[in-house]
């Protein structure tokens, strides 16, 4: 635990973050029950609930999880400070195929194989792995500062959650929304040996070939092959052939037709004839169909309904037989493959091509590039396959989900995602929910020996139709998205509608997730949520972008220096607050973030700045006898213009930032607070306040100190949701008198005070700060020693009052000699630098301040040097360069010349003053 009284003088995140997290957790602030008990929220006041997208138990967290944790924690902390009862509910996802694969890979290293050890032992291994992973994920989430209620931590395979999954299945089954059917699915014949969703398949351009094959046609004189296949005489006697092109010659074993494009010049005459399929000699029909693209290959296609999704559709249309010739593991099925029996599909391809050539049935081979689909998990080429699977009927569910978005019951941020959502939902196919895996929720359906199908919550004793007692449960498990699709309500106690959590926190307020997961997950949650609870599962759906490296590349495990993108390593080096600030100050919903060291360093600098400024302010507390809380009413008379200015700026900023938080525009909130704190509060107000704090004769030190504390305390509150650790640590060190409550995490969100906002004052002070900046610039240009107090003559124009009121600020902040600060004097010494700004003219007499001769020499040298560069550039531009070089480079050169001329003009003016 942390000792707030003994914080180090410098910001050392490692020393504070863990302790602060433990302290928050031990105080119970993350738990809604405790929030009520402590009187922080009203019993039946507004509530806020967000369910954390459960990380997969496949390994440690990466930056994608870190941004999720940051954004959702920010939202939760903000709402908690708005005095809502908040629940940030965490958990993990069993992640079916992904986890099974990881564990299989791990076991293979020890030469242990899934199929050898069997289902029961294998599942025990996966559970061990899961428990280990969950511990790591828990620790990582804590180090990100996520203020989750860990007492409600859920896992998609825990007992209560599993009950929800089975209830959902039963409900949909009994309503006819789940059915078992034959379907062409993506099949991974690799390590997965399972159906793969479209979303788990990745398409890639692939350099391959187009094989032109000839199938002989039955004619009066030739009635089919007489000789063995691969004898070289198989097609002997055939006179007519139809030629077609294919990218997959091995599938010809499953061909059941040849289709030709309508009105084909050469092949129309074969319409209605019969072709003989090479290898087994099967006789197949030739017909015409507009599906065939006349421009592809020869304008004729082999039709393989069992191994191509488009051919499958044609097969249904013409009632063709679908013959599966490739088995679950990618090997040729003996019954249909003759001499190629049991060969791997790609070996078969090589062999069959050799034999086709031998038989004179291979016309030619052309290089051809086309897209090939790979399994995302094991990279095996996907095999389309007809198999019996379980499906969810999605048509009506999708319509409900679209209606919920159209009617505004669920809103998407950014809004353009709604269009993508509709497009997807309008084209949705039935959702294949069965997976041939071991790790997951086993399908709650049993079969009796007479083939009756029984769907129940628990294992039935006998078949209700035939009373048979030998029942067998379906071996498949459910798609992992089926269970995660129930996340917003199954975590809250559904299907128990009386559950207090379900009543209090459903629907969730927001679903925040990566943009890449819209269809995987959000679509499922919307469909299942609306069907099962009759409510949209959340009101807002907020999508953040994907995190990339500083060159804009997607961060992947195979990347070089991948460890520098490990969130724990980043936290170790920069601190959790810096990482969080980097995310928030640089991401817009739906846009990707290129994360580099530069951004992290900038955030760390900002954190240091807050730490040091706070320490500086606290170190001045002994300058005043008592500490007062600033309250606008009784102190207004004592305020200087600078005080009123910072109060106006602060309240304007609060107003703006509150809107940004309400509009989910966190990037603008973070940047506004940073620029206020750094550019206005630290750079100006802290400097101005020193005038009174360090003046021996000044009696009122309470005012500047109470304003310093007031601005600081509010800024810490505004920053808390973004950088919780550092703000809590510093807030705890502020005097009790200037804050309310036991902890910043449960402090009230700041409101702005309209009466303190003064636009005129902002303008006036803006003018004064510009003047001071100009004086500082001139001092630098003439090489005036930084601390040296110099004379100044100011002709105030219309601003006499303003200048008089701010004289002490101008004098202090631009190091002017108080006795030589002259207002509206007309007698200006010869060697004086001049500044003109909005009708105000300032003269800085230089004689006696700098050595005129040395400066003349220095500036003359500079002019000479610039002149040389200028001539070079002019020569270059007048030569052949300007015609030949890239116009962009020429433009850059012209720009350079312009700058040189301008610089020379300024230096010549300075020289004029000095001579």
Q: Contact between 223 and Zn ion (CB under 5 A)?
A: no
**Which of the stretches 236-244, 370-378, 750-758, 846-854 binds Zn ion when contact is defined by CB under 5 A?**
370-378
Size of the site for Zn ion (CB under 5 A): 14
CB of 105 vs Zn ion, minimal distance in Å: 12
Strand 283-288 versus strand 257-260 pairing type: parallel
Using the rule CB under 5 A, is 303 a contact of Zn ion?
A: no
Compute the least distance from the CB of residue 100 to Zn ion, in Å.
10
Residue among 243 and 378 whose Cβ is closer to Zn ion: 378
Work out how close the CB of 449 gets to Zn ion at its nearest, in angstroms, rounded to a whole number.
Answer: 7
Q: How far is the CB of 464 from Zn ion (least distance, A)?
A: 8
Q: Which is nearer to Zn ion, 468 or 687 (CB)?
A: 468
**Closest by alpha carbon to 413, among 538, 521, 553?**
538
Q: Does position 195 bind Zn ion by CB under 5 A?
A: no
Return the SS3 of 792. Answer: strand
Q: Which two tokens stand for residue 498?
A: 């009386």
854-885 burial code (b ≥16 CB/10 A, e <16): ebeebbeeebeebeeebeebeebeeeeeeeee
Total number of residues shown for the chain: 915
The verdict on 452 binding Zn ion (CB under 5 A) reads yes
Q: Which stretch binds Zn ion (CB under 5 A): 10-18, 118-126, 368-376, 502-510?
A: 368-376
798 membership: H or E segment, kind and range: none
Residue 481 near residue 521, CB atoms below 8 Å: yes
CA dist 683 → 411, 565, 687, 688, 689 (Å):
41, 34, 7, 9, 11
Task: Report if residue 192 touches Zn ion, rule: CB under 5 A.
Answer: yes
For residues 380-409, which are near Zn ion according to CB under 5 A? 380
Omega before 14 within 30 of 0, i.e. cis: no
Count CB-CB contacts under 10 A for residue 838. 12
**Shortest Å, Cβ 375 to Zn ion:** 3
Taking the least distance from each CB to Zn ion, the nearer of 380 and 899 is 380
User: Residue 241, SS3?
Assistant: strand
Of the pair 458, 560, the CB lying nearest Zn ion is at 458
Closer to Zn ion by Cβ: residue 81 or 463: 463
Distance of CA 324 to the CA centre of its chain: 42
Sign of the four-CA dihedral 897, 899, 905, 907: negative
Which of 13-21, 160-168, 442-450, 782-790 is the region at the interface with Zn ion (rule: CB under 5 A)?
442-450
468 binds Zn ion (CB under 5 A): yes
- Answer whether 231's CB lies under 8 Å from 393's CB: no
Q: How far is the CB of 193 from Zn ion (least distance, A)?
A: 8
Give the nearer residue to Zn ion in terms of CB position, either 436 or 832: 436
With beta carbons less than 8 A apart as the criterion, state whether 575 and 14 touch.
yes
Eight-class DSSP state of 678:
I
Residue 195 CA to residue 437 CA, distance in Å, equals 9
Interaction of residue 844 with Zn ion, rule CB under 5 A = no
199 binds Zn ion per the rule CB under 5 A: no
Where is 559: in which H helix or E strand?
none
Could you give the CA distance from residue 807 to residue 697 in angstroms, rounded to a whole number? Answer: 17
- Residue closer to Zn ion (CB basis): 463 or 734: 463
Residue 96 in the binding site for Zn ion (CB under 5 A): no
Q: How far is the CB of 471 from Zn ion (least distance, A)?
A: 8
Encoded one letter per residue, x for contact with Zn ion by CB under 5 A and - for no contact, window 162-191 reads --------------------------x-x-
Task: Cite the beta strand spans of 90-169 per DSSP E.
Answer: 91-92, 154-155
Residue 378 binds Zn ion (CB under 5 A): yes
Q: How far is the CB of 56 from Zn ion (least distance, A)?
A: 16
Q: Does 375 bind Zn ion (CB under 5 A)?
A: yes
Stretch binding Zn ion (CB under 5 A), from 64-72, 116-124, 441-449, 724-732: 441-449
Nearer to Zn ion, 342 or 450 (CB): 450
The whole-angstrom separation of Cα 826 and Cα 457 is: 97
Interface stretch with Zn ion, choices 243-251, 284-292, 451-459, 753-761 (CB under 5 A): 451-459
Angle among Cα 551, 557, 562 to the nearest 5 degrees reads: 55
Query: How would DSSP label each residue in 703-761?
Result: HHHHHHHHHHHHHHHHHTTTSHHHHHHHHHHS-GGG--SS-GGGSPPP---GGG--HHH
| Among 151-159, 449-457, 655-663, 864-872, the segment contacting Zn ion (CB under 5 A) | 449-457
Choose, by CB under 5 A, the member of 377, 435, 644, 674 that binds Zn ion.
377
Site for Zn ion in 613-672 (CB under 5 A): none
Q: Which stretch binds Zn ion (CB under 5 A): 41-49, 198-206, 222-230, 440-448?
A: 440-448
CB of 190 or CB of 249, closer to Zn ion: 190
User: Of 95 and 448, which CB lies nearer to Zn ion in the complex structure?
Assistant: 448
CB of 326 to Zn ion, least distance (A): 15
662 C-beta neighbours (distance < 10 Å), count: 11
The residue ranges of DSSP E strands in 247-322, in sequence order, are 257-260, 274-276, 283-288, 300-303
| CB of residue 450 to Zn ion, shortest distance in Å | 4
- 198 is a contact residue toward Zn ion (CB under 5 A): no
In the complex, minimum distance from the CB of residue 377 to Zn ion, in angstroms, rounded to a whole number = 4
Q: Compute how many other C-beta atoms are within 10 angstroms of the C-beta atom of residue 488.
A: 27
The residue assigned the tokens 């944790």 is 69
- CB nearer Zn ion, residue 12 or residue 204: 204
The DSSP secondary structure of 746-772, one letter per residue, reads: GSPPP---GGG--HHHHHHHHHHHHHH
Query: Of 169, 163, 159, 175, which is closest to residue 495 (Cα–Cα)?
Result: 163
Beta strands 274-276 and 283-288, pairing class: antiparallel
What is the enclosing helix (H) or strand (E) of 390? strand 383-392
One of 342, 350, 423, 465 touching Zn ion (CB under 5 A): 465
CB-based contact 731:716 (threshold 8 Å): yes
The least CB distance from residue 192 to Zn ion, in Å, is: 3
Find the radius of gyration of the CA atoms of the chain: 38
Please select the residue that binds Zn ion; options are 466, 503, 823, 906, rule is CB under 5 A.
466
Residue among 223, 450, 631, 763 that touches Zn ion (CB under 5 A): 450
Using CB under 5 A as the binding rule, whether residue 325 contacts Zn ion is answered as no
- Residue closer to Zn ion (CB basis): 188 or 306: 188
Q: Which residues bind Zn ion (CB under 5 A)?
A: 188, 190, 192, 375, 377-378, 380, 448, 450, 452, 463, 465-466, 468
């Amino acid at each position: 635990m942390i000792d707030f009284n003994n914080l180090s003088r410098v910001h050392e995140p490692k020393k504070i973050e863990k302790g602060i997290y433990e302290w928050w957790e031990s105080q119970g602030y993350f738990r809604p029950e405790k929030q009520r008990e402590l009187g922080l929220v009203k019993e039946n006041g507004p509530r806020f609930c967000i369910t954390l997208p459960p990380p997969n138990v496949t390994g440690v967290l990466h930056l994608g999880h870190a941004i999720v944790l940051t954004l959702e924690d920010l939202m939760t902390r903000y709402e908690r400070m708005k005095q809502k009862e908040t629940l940030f509910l965490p958990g993990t996802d069993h992640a079916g195929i992904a986890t099974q694969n990881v564990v299989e890979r791990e076991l293979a290293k020890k030469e242990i194989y899934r199929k050898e050890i069997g289902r029961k032992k294998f599942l025990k291994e996966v559970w061990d792995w899961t428990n280990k992973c969950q511990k790591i994920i828990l620790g990582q989430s804590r180090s990100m500062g996520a203020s989750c209620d860990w007492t409600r931590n859920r896992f998609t395979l825990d007992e209560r959650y599993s009950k929800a999954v089975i209830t959902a299945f039963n409900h949909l089954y009994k309503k006819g929304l789940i059915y078992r059917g034959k379907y062409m699915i993506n099949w991974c014949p690799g390590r997965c040996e399972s159906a793969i969703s479209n979303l788990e398949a990745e398409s890639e351009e692939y350099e391959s070939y187009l094989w032109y094959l000839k199938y002989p046609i039955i004619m009066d004189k030739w009635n089919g092959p007489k000789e063995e296949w691969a004898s070289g005489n198989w097609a002997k006697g055939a006179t007519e052939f139809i030629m077609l092109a294919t990218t997959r010659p091995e599938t010809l074993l499953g061909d059941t037709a040849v289709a030709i494009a309508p009105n084909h010049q050469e092949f129309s005459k074969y319409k209605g004839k019969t072709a003989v399929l090479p290898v087994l000699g099967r006789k197949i029909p030739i017909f015409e169909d507009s599906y065939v693209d006349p421009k592809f290959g020869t304008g004729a296609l082999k039709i393989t309904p069992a191994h191509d999704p488009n051919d499958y559709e044609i097969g249904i249309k013409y009632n063709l037989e679908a013959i599966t010739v490739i088995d679950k593991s990618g090997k040729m099925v003996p019954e249909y493959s003759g001499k190629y029996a049991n060969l791997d599909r790609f070996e078969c391809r090589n062999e069959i091509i050799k034999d086709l050539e031998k038989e004179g049935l291979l016309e030619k081979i052309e290089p051809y590039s086309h897209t090939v689909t790979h399994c995302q998990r094991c990279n095996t080429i996907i095999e389309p396959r007809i198999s019996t699977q379980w499906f969810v009927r999605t048509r009506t569910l999708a319509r409900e989900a679209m209606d919920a978005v159209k009617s505004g019951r669920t809103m998407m941020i950014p809004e353009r995602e709604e269009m993508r959502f509709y497009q997807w939902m309008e084209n949705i196919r039935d959702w294949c929910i069965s997976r041939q895996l071991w790790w997951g929720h086993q399908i709650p359906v049993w079969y009796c020996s007479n083939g009756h199908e029984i769907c129940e919550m628990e294992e039935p004793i006998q078949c209700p139709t035939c009373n048979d007692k030998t029942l067998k449960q379906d071996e498949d498990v459910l798609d992992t998205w089926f269970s995660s699709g129930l996340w917003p309500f199954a975590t809250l106690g559904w299907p128990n509608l009386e559950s207090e959590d379900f009543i209090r926190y459903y629907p969730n307020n927001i679903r925040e997730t990566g943009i890449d997961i819209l269809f995987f997950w959000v679509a499922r949650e919307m469909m299942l949520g609306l069907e099962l609870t009759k409510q949209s599962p959340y009101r807002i759906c907020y999508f953040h972008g994907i995190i990339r490296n500083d060159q804009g590349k997607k961060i992947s495990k195979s990347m070089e220096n991948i460890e520098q993108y490990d969130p724990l390593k980043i936290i170790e080096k920069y601190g959790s607050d810096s990482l969080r600030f980097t995310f928030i100050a640089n991401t817009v919903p739906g846009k990707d973030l290129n994360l580099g060291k530069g951004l992290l360093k900038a955030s760390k600098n900002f954190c240091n700045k807050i730490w040091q400024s706070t320490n500086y302010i606290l170190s001045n507390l002994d300058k005043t006898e008592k500490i007062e809380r600033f309250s606008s009413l009784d102190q207004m008379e004592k305020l200087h213009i600078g005080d009123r200015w910072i109060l106006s700026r602060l309240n304007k900023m609060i107003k703006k930032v509150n809107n940004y938080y309400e509009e989910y525009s966190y990037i603008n909130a973070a940047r506004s607070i940073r620029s206020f704190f750094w550019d206005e509060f630290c750079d100006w107000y802290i400097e101005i306040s020193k005038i009174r704090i360090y003046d021996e004769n000044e009696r009122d030190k309470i005012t500047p100190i109470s304003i310093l504390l007031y601005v600081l305390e509010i800024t810490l509150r505004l920053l808390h949701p973004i950088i919780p650790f550092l703000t809590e640590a510093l807030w705890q060190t502020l005097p009790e008198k200037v804050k309310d409550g036991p902890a910043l995490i449960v402090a009230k969100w700041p409101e702005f005070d309209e009466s303190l906002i003064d636009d005129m004052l902002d303008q006036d002070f803006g003018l004064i700060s510009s003047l001071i900046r100009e004086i500082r610039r001139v001092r630098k240009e003439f090489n005036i020693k930084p601390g040296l107090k110099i004379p100044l003559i100011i002709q105030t124009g219309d601003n006499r009052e303003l200048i008089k009121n701010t004289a002490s600020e101008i004098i202090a902040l631009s190091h002017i000699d108080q006795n030589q600060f002259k207002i509206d004097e007309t007698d200006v010494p010869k060697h004086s630098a001049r500044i003109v700004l909005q009708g105000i003219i300032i003269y800085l007499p230089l004689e006696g301040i700098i050595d005129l001769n040395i400066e003349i020499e220095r500036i003359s040298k500079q002019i000479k040097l610039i002149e040389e560069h200028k001539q070079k550039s002019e020569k270059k531009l007048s030569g052949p360069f300007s015609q030949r070089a890239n116009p962009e480079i020429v433009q850059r050169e012209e720009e350079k010349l312009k700058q040189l001329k301008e610089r020379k003009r300024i230096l010549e003016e300075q020289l004029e003053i000095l001579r």
